[in-house]
Chain A
Amino acid sequence: DIQMTQSPSSLSASVGDRVTITCRASQRINNYLNWYQQKPGKAPKLLIYAVSSLQSGVPSRFSGSGSGTDFTLTISTLQPEDFATYYCQETYTPPLTFGGGTKVEIK
């Protein structure tokens, strides 16, 4: 099974900060890497699919990059509504593993 290692597990940031979250796969997963945002008590929301494609309706301050085994989610200018937990997920082969999550908190 593919392991997805996400870092950091949590971070504190201020509104306006640039935030970067990384995800490392235990083997190459081509472009089968997605990012989700989850707020407390809510279902996850798809932000980025296929490494760098922005889901419809998602603000352009969110971007994804990477290749092979190393991937990054960047929030260019953190907004109040972005405080949430973020997950990466590989969909290269089942089981479709999620990363452990990164909780973005207010500094």
Chain B
Amino acid sequence: EVQLVESGGGLVRPGGSLRVSCAASGFTFSNYWMHWVRQAPGKGLVWVARIKSDGSTTNYADSVRGRFSISRDNAKDTLYLQMNSLRAEDTAVYYCATGGMQHEFWGKGTLVTVSS
């Protein structure tokens, strides 16, 4: 059974940093592109970033480029999102999802709240 389990969310002050993780199991993690998608409270889905299966290629939404960094450890079957210079508008549930041309599997998400 495919499982994606996010962790690391929490409350952080504006300007602060946080790293969220996504532990994968039940599939060959190293074969898949992986993505982060976020959803602010009561709002729609917003794609954040993606990383190629071998980590050689990354892409970002304009709103996070230069502040967020996506990475992966294929030996640990884990995806990461390092978030720096956090703003109130980054408050959201962060989901990891498998990718290629569609997000077949999703985690349950981890809530990141940016507030003073």
**A residues whose Cβ falls under 8 Å from a Cβ of B:** 1, 32, 34, 36, 38, 42-46, 49-50, 55, 87, 89, 91, 94-101
Contact = CB atoms under 8 A, between A and B. Distances in A.
B100 to A, nearest CB: 8
Interface in B56-108: 59-62, 95, 99, 101-104, 106-108
Contacts, number: 59
B104 A46 contact: yes
Nearest to B105: A46
B interface bracket (residues with beta carbon within 8 Å of A): 20 to 34
Nearest to B61: A95
A63 to B, nearest CB: 16
A87 B44 contact: yes
Nearest to A98: B45
Given A95-B62, A100-B44, 15 more contacts: A38-B45, A42-B108, A43-B106, A43-B108, A43-B109, A44-B95, A45-B106, A46-B102, A50-B101, A89-B45, A91-B101, A96-B50, A97-B47, A98-B45, A99-B44
A33 to B, nearest CB: 9
B27 to A, nearest CB: 14
A40 to B, nearest CB: 10
B59 A94 contact: yes
A91 B107 CA distance: 19
Contact of A44 (B45, B50, B61, B62): B45
A43 B35 CA distance: 14
Nearest to A87: B45
Nearest to A100: B44
B46 interface: yes
Contact of A98 (B47, B108, B109): B47
A50 B102 contact: yes
Contacts of B47: 89, 94-98
Interface in B28-67: 35, 37, 44-47, 50, 59-62
A43 B45 contact: no
Nearest to B109: A43
